[in-house]
Homo-oligomer: A and B are copies of this chain.
Amino acid sequence: MSQPDYKNHPTLKQKLYVIVFGTETRTGKIFDIVLLWAIVLSVLSVMLESVNELNVRFGEIFTVLEWSFTVLFSIEYILRILISKKPAKYALSFLGIIDLLALLPTYLTLITTGGSYLIVIRTIRLLRVVRILKLSRYLREASVLGNALKASRHKIFVFIGSVFTLVMIVGTLMYIVESGENTEFTSIPRGIYWAIVTVTTVGYGDISPQTTLGQSLASLLMLMGYAIIAVPTGIVTSEIATAERDKKLSESNDKSCDLCGNQVHDHDAEYCKKCGNQI
């Protein structure tokens, strides 16, 4: 009896909860969209502040903007804590911790300098956009990608390990070969840095071999990098293909079992693989 009555006359806390945490009502949506724009603008403001010419001309505006956004987000954070049914759970959730971390840098500038750029952590708050736009389709695709990467994590681990060993050995060899005539290979860590830059085909060119032996070794590393770059691609492609096939199978399979309801059957199955019932 009190349930419908309760719904018609919600308390202020309940009203605010629907606006701040909810995404169904009109006011809830407006709140989320305003919040998103505030996040985008605050991140943009921090980035532009770092450009010297803009900082000289609009420095004070940036400071005002930064503090305005921070105060706004602080109020929002306190509000979320206050109206949340389980404050501790929110505060310790992934989004809750990000919400807090996104506030701290500005306050830190009162004590020390240089930390203000950490505000870039606010970009992670943009993840809320997923909830608002109800991009469930994107979430599903993201989960396909995520599962593919997760399923191949052992292979990727082995691969990164092999690459790292290769890079350490080649980097050291290059240091031994080049250090005499080339002023760019000043230490082994620098040689390893060069080897990573080369094997990943980034190739800045800030460090490059000068001796004939060094260039031969580098050519070898590049041709190996050719074969090497094929490996993670092969791993991920294979996993995505499997994930896709599984998704399609589970989606399109008309052959669900009447008895036990098991959905995933091969297209040539005549009996349910779970309960043995004829399909």
Binding site for B on A (CB under 8 A): 43, 46-48, 50-52, 114, 117-118, 120-121, 123-124, 126, 137-138, 141-142, 144-145, 148-149, 154-160, 163, 165, 168-169, 172-173, 175-176, 186-190, 192-193, 196-198, 200-206, 208, 212, 215-216, 218-219, 222-223, 225-227, 229-242, 244, 264-266, 268-278
Q: Within the oligomer, what is the number of copies of this chain?
A: 4
A163: chain B residues at CB < 8 Å are 223, 226
The answer on a CB contact under 8 Å between A241 and B240 is: no
The answer on a CB contact under 8 Å between B141 and A145 is: no
A169→B122 CA distance, assembly (Å): 10
Interchain CB contact (< 8 A) of A188 among B117, B124, B155, B272: B117
A48: chain B residues at CB < 8 Å are 189
Interchain CB contact (< 8 A) of A137 among B137, B154, B225: B154
A240→B244 CA distance, assembly (Å): 12
A215: chain B residues at CB < 8 Å are 189-190, 193
A154: chain B residues at CB < 8 Å are 137-138, 141
The answer on a CB contact under 8 Å between A188 and B47 is: yes
The answer on a CB contact under 8 Å between B270 and A274 is: yes
Given A196-B219, A273-B271, also A238-B241 (CB < 8 A): yes
Q: Could you list 7 A-B pairs, sorted by A, with CB under 8 Å?
A: A50-B189, A51-B187, A163-B226, A196-B223, A200-B226, A233-B236, A271-B273
10 cross-chain pairs, A with B, having the tightest CB-CB distances, nearest first: A271-B276, A202-B203, A204-B205, A234-B237, A269-B273, A120-B172, A205-B205, A234-B236, A230-B236, A51-B187
Given A50-B175, A189-B212, also A200-B200 (CB < 8 A): no
The answer on a CB contact under 8 Å between B197 and A124 is: no
Interchain CB contact (< 8 A) of A240 among B120, B121, B234, B278: B234
Query: What residue in chain B is nearest A116 (Cβ atoms)?
Result: B176
A190: chain B residues at CB < 8 Å are 215
